[in-house]
Structure 1
Amino acid sequence: MPKRPSGSDSVTLRQVSEAAASPMLRGDFRQLASGASPTWAELADALHFSLGDGRIWLNDQRMVLIQSQVLGRLRQEIIDAFGMETAKGIFMRVGYMQGVRDAELVMKRFPDQDLTHALAAGPRMHTLEGFVKVVTRHFEFDREKGFYHGEFHWHDSSEAAEHLSHHGLSAEPVCWMQAGYPTGYTSTLFGRPVLFRETECLAMGAAHCVVIGKNAEEWEADAPEKAYLGLQWKARHSAPSTSAPAASPLNETVKPERDEVVGVSARFLTARLMVEKVADTQATVLLVGESGVGKEVFAQQIHRLSSRARGPFLPVNCAAIPENLVESELFGVERGAFTGAVASRPGTFERANGGTLFLDEVASLAYAAQGKLLRAIQERKLERVGGTRLIETDVRIIAASNVDLAEEVRAGRFRQDLYFRLCVFPITIPPLRERRDDLPLLADHFLRQFRLRHGRHVRGLTRRAMDALLAYDFPGNIRELQNMIERGVIFAEPDGQIDLQHLFTGSETRSAKPENLALNRLGRIDPTGLQTDYPENLRKSRKPEYPAQPRETALEELTIAENRLFAEALAQSGGNLSAAARHLGISRAKLEYRMRKAGLL
């Protein structure tokens, strides 16, 4: 048996699982210790507001605040337009997808949790999001037998309240979206379909809603939930492993590295849609955007989606070609054309024949070279330097510029005729500071990429590291983020997390971080440090709400708060120093040193 924490007569489920000869494949809600992780505080810490920036985040998922009455009115209109059964299916599907996403969030944020703790986090997540207060009565499962059974009570369901206000008392349960949520959440974690059905409902006159969850096959054969959710009940989502140790990132299947177009923000999706529209044509494309936004990655994507995908993709950095060598590099050279030309050599146009030629930083070409480029693009024929015969080429041109070519034309530095030849289908790629919604996705993409490349086991980014990235302006755009994540992977401790000190080690200037959702004693949001819109002179004249403390007193209170944090983390982990250190995002040695120094060990 595992050792018990001093002064305690109980052991945690995690300790039992770690001490067992094989990982536990079954669980019971009664096995959970009170305050089992992930706690309310840990889940609430994942929710934060990017004040003044129009964004709310739940870990790396963007959220929105919407009035319950708006959902109620939308629900009423869908019922009136399509009928009760169609509305039921729509809202149940919405709840299902919300549960799936929250299950993925819990698996990502708390990867070391066993299945029992991960399942127990579902009702807390559901309550945190404000739809209903969930009270867990009981749940148990056996993964080997594929068995699950749970009972939950819902109090103050917003969905039931809205139904009552629009339709009065109902003859059947109406919390459709809320029933879909645990179905999606539990099925994702459990790895097989688990259906939740409301048996009593506030809208039917009951004191509260009662929900039962069972394996899909245990409900009657014509369970309508299957049709509502549009699922064939295939295990499409991997659950947290309890039959083997969690796979290390080093054991991930190594795929050939290829840059990918990643993002979900509105401006990014607009650019990607334009890429998809033009890719299967032969049109010339002009990519415009700041340095580092990924213009070459977009060009590669256009090539991959085109009919020329089997042909070569040849990138040319026009800024790196000396002015006197532009013609020979682009069009090739015949033997003896000039001193040193000992052999004939094809240029980039010939080598890209049948494929795509990507001209990066095309604005840096000399004025004379621009004329020769225009002729080759326009006539689809070229002559090698020192040659006498015309060579036909079949090349698609994708050009890129980090400056406004129209402004360059007005300034007389770029040929107007070449500009119109290149600007057949312009695509503007937004800078990273204008697509902050994509930061978590990009960070995760680069994290997986560099873990494989450098053979480092890094678990991810800490919450405050992600907060800092979300607030940073990224003058170097995607390239700078890529460098920071690679730096973090190299710098972070093995099996640890990437923190602020691992990311911001260069000349980067961090912005004020987004505010976390902190609760004051009255339970209200308390965004400390919130900047106001007062004029500077008025802001300076406002008196602080509390008198400033002496420096010594402030430091003492900071030390006390730190020691309390360490003690709470150790208590929540059942006396396991390593687990407490992981929870705090520091190394075990650092935590042990600080606790011994404070006399806590």
Structure 2
Amino acid sequence: MMKALPDFTDLASKLQFSPEMGRIWRDGERCVLLSNSALAGLRGHMVSQLGLDAASKFFWELGFAEGARCAVGAKELRPDRDFLDAFAVGPQAHALTGFGWTQIEALENDMSRGHFEGRFLVHDSIEAAIHLNAEGRATDPVCWMQTGFASGFATAFAGQPIIMRELECAGMGDAACLLHAKPAKEWSHLDSPEKSASPLEPPVLDSGENSMAVGVSAGFIAVKTMIERSAPSDATLLFTGETGVGKEVLAKFAHRLSRRKEAPFVALNCAAIPEGLIESELFGVAKGAFTGAVAARPGRFELAHGGTLFLDEISTLSPLAQSKILRAIQEGEFERVGDTRTIKVDVRLMAAANADLTQSMRDGLFRADLFYRISTLPIRVPPLRQRREDIPGLIEHFRFRFSRRHQRAVAGFTTRAINALLVYDYPGNVRELERMVERAVLLADDGQAIDLRHLFLGTDLPDLKPAMGLASDGKIMPVTDIHDRSELIRQVLDLIVEGGETLSNVEGLVIREAVEASGGNYARAARTLGLSRRQLALRMEKIGPTGRT
């Protein structure tokens, strides 16, 4: 007897579409739609170029990685459900992506004994159909991504290497694909890709006050890669990008990776210091240098000795200050204001600018020699609207941080809140998102999820183009409409269960309302209800003038 699977509305709600932006998300990660012909072409090309064994290994490992990632989300999606319901996320996610639908014939798990065994029937496998169309019946199983996905999901979910194999395959002429799962050690032998199967630990999000949230977008990975490559060196890093993109956070990250990580990280926002004080802030002041200087005070260069000095908004410095900084970083020496004694320092410099320094240099506002000195490794940080894949990780990072700081227990985000956060353009970039989440944590009730009203206050709510999602009938419609319709259905159920109405009476009320809304025009009302005019007339005779049967 097949196991009954839970409703997958919670899983389907994670799939969203934004045609205007050319994006599809599943659980916050960007996806693409791949047609049957495109997948068939890719599969055929890989087989012809790599050979059957290498191509099957490639697709198996691709499926394994995706299955393992899916298992991490499964535990978060249904944390309080029993093992079957939580595990069902894997087969249901596989169905949601169009690879075929699954029935669970048997599923056993005993973590104390390391026991795991399952049998699964996969119907309408797209991989089997592709093979049958291209090659005809096979002599060996052909659903490589399917078995890889199932093995990766079970491995990450059970916390031990689990291998799923096709005992029967639709590509071999069987009615469906029968997958048998058990620990790798219980199979008499393992194929080449199966030997590499190992549990994947879910990523740990470091949510400390000074931590750096994880990013997954191509733009973020490019920035991270450049920082990591420069980690063993003392190369000067120049971060450029719009205000609020996180340039100082990235500079701190670079410092923590460097060999100077045990020494100080000193930051100075050059735009926040009046021009007359910038020199004393950078280089310090000697005792008696001016009225009120009753004691010597070190500057930022001295404080950063042995470590890293980060100069934010360096483009705002005056030409005089630029010349003195150039000497300090070239020669490693300077004098305090009001002193003739030369001080030597060992500092790694990092700088940031939201202005175009190349244009400032052409306009004579920024020294060319300083620009070339600090731009050893320029790193452009893209705005948040160009790396929306990072938003899910960032909002969880900020929610965790501010929940702990303000001692609040906020239970995640509603679907429409996540939709709004994914499509909003963030003129203030990551800094704006950070403030939005902090405000939402303060406004949301304990134990409740963050909603739109917590993120956007009053007239601040932007005109957002809603993402599209899957309704229960499989149609794609605006996410807000899905939730509005679900709420209406719940209200109808409440009317029947709690209000004492019958289903026939509710139907009559709906028909009467449709006729009234159409001004008594039966043809128009019938079209609204999806009925013929005759069907509507017959039902109106049945329910009578009260609208009740």
TM bucket (normalised to shorter chain) is 0.7 to 0.9
Question: Residue 458 and residue 404 in structure 1: after superposition, are their counterparts in 2 closer, same or farther (change >3 A)?
Answer: same
**Deviation readout 1:308-344 (Å, 9 max, x if unpaired):** 2232211011122222222222111222222222222
Q: Secondary structure at the match of 2:88?
A: helix
- TM-score (ref. length: structure 1): 0.76
Q: Could you tell me which of 107, 110, 113 is aligned with 1:145?
A: 113
**Deviation readout 1:475-528 (Å, 9 max, x if unpaired):** 11111111112222222222221111121127634242443234597x554469
Question: Residue 112 and residue 323 in structure 1: after superposition, are their counterparts in 2 closer, same or farther (change >3 A)?
Answer: same
2:274 is equivalent to residue 346 of structure 1: no
Aligned to 1:516: 468
Aligned to 2:420: 468
Identity %: 44
**2:207–2:401 Cα contact (<8 Å) kept:** no
Aligned to 1:231: 196
Q: Secondary structure at the match of 2:20?
A: coil
Task: Give the drift of 1:355.
Answer: 1.5
**1:471–1:510 Cα contact (<8 Å) kept:** no
Distance in 1, matches of 2:102 and 2:253, equals: 46
Aligned to 1:285: 237
Task: Give the drift of 1:429.
Answer: 0.9
Question: Residue 308 and residue 121 in structure 1: after superposition, are their counterparts in 2 closer, same or farther (change >3 A)?
Answer: closer
Distance in 2, matches of 1:118 and 1:275, equals: 39
Task: Give the drift of 1:238.
Answer: 7.1
Aligned to 1:563: 491
Runs of 4+ in 1 over 6 A off after TM superposition: 252-255, 565-570
Aligned to 1:160: 128
Question: Residue 238 and residue 128 in structure 1: after superposition, are their counterparts in 2 closer, same or farther (change >3 A)?
Answer: same
**2:208–2:401 Cα contact (<8 Å) kept:** no
Q: Secondary structure at the match of 1:426?
A: strand
Distance in 1, matches of 2:44 and 2:487, equals: 55
Distance in 1, matches of 2:206 and 2:327, equals: 45
Task: Give the drift of 1:255.
Answer: 7.2
Distance in 1, matches of 2:48 and 2:100, equals: 25
Question: Residue 427 and residue 120 in structure 1: after superposition, are their counterparts in 2 closer, same or farther (change >3 A)?
Answer: closer
How is 1:104-115 mapped onto 2 (pairs within 5 angstroms)? 104-115=72-83
Q: Could you tell me which of 3, 7, 24 is aligned with 1:56?
A: 24
**2:409–2:446 Cα contact (<8 Å) kept:** yes
**1:48–1:514 Cα contact (<8 Å) kept:** no
How is 1:53-132 mapped onto 2 (pairs within 5 angstroms)? 53-132=21-100
**1:123–1:134 Cα contact (<8 Å) kept:** yes
Aligned AA for 2:193? Y
**2:205–2:213 Cα contact (<8 Å) kept:** no
Q: Secondary structure at the match of 1:517?
A: strand
Task: Give the drift of 1:60.
Answer: 1.8
2:340 is equivalent to residue 388 of structure 1: yes
2:316 is equivalent to residue 364 of structure 1: yes
Distance in 2, matches of 1:506 and 1:391, equals: 55
How is 1:118-517 mapped onto 2 (pairs within 5 angstroms)? 118-220=86-188, 222-224=189-191, 227-231=192-196, 233=198, 235-237=199-201, 256-260=208-212, 262-505=214-457, 508-517=460-469
**1:367–1:415 Cα contact (<8 Å) kept:** yes
Task: Give the drift of 1:230.
Answer: 4.3
Q: Secondary structure at the match of 1:417?
A: helix
Task: Give the drift of 1:148.
Answer: 3.0
- TM-score (ref. length: structure 2): 0.82
Q: 5+ unaligned residues in a row in structure 2: which ranges?
A: 499-549
Q: Secondary structure at the match of 1:138?
A: strand
Aligned to 1:6: none
Aligned to 1:42: 10
Aligned to 2:506: none
**Deviation readout 1:56-105 (Å, 9 max, x if unpaired):** 11122222111233333332333333333322222221112222222222
Distance in 2, matches of 1:568 and 1:343, equals: 82
Distance in 2, matches of 1:565 and 1:414, equals: 69
Distance in 2, matches of 1:329 and 1:422, equals: 20
**Deviation readout 1:181-218 (Å, 9 max, x if unpaired):** 22222232233333211111112122222222233333
Q: Secondary structure at the match of 1:460?
A: coil
Aligned AA for 1:563? Q
Aligned pairs, how many?
A: 496
Question: Residue 380 and residue 45 in structure 1: after superposition, are their counterparts in 2 closer, same or farther (change >3 A)?
Answer: same
Task: Give the drift of 1:175.
Answer: 0.9
**Deviation readout 1:379-421 (Å, 9 max, x if unpaired):** 3221111212222222222111121223333444333333333
Which sits farther off after the overlay, 344-353 or 83-92? 83-92
Distance in 1, matches of 2:375 and 2:15, equals: 44
Q: Secondary structure at the match of 1:97?
A: helix
Distance in 2, matches of 1:397 and 1:287, equals: 11
**2:15–2:26 Cα contact (<8 Å) kept:** yes
Aligned AA for 1:365? L
CA RMSD of aligned residues (A): 3.0
Question: Residue 380 and residue 463 in structure 1: after superposition, are their counterparts in 2 closer, same or farther (change >3 A)?
Answer: same
Task: Give the drift of 1:107.
Answer: 2.0
Q: Secondary structure at the match of 1:297?
A: helix
Distance in 2, matches of 1:215 and 1:559, equals: 44
Q: 5+ unaligned residues in a row in structure 1: which ranges?
A: 1-27, 240-251, 531-554, 571-601
Distance in 2, matches of 1:177 and 1:436, equals: 28
Q: Secondary structure at the match of 1:281?
A: coil
**2:106–2:118 Cα contact (<8 Å) kept:** yes
Aligned AA for 1:324? G
Distance in 2, matches of 1:108 and 1:54, equals: 27
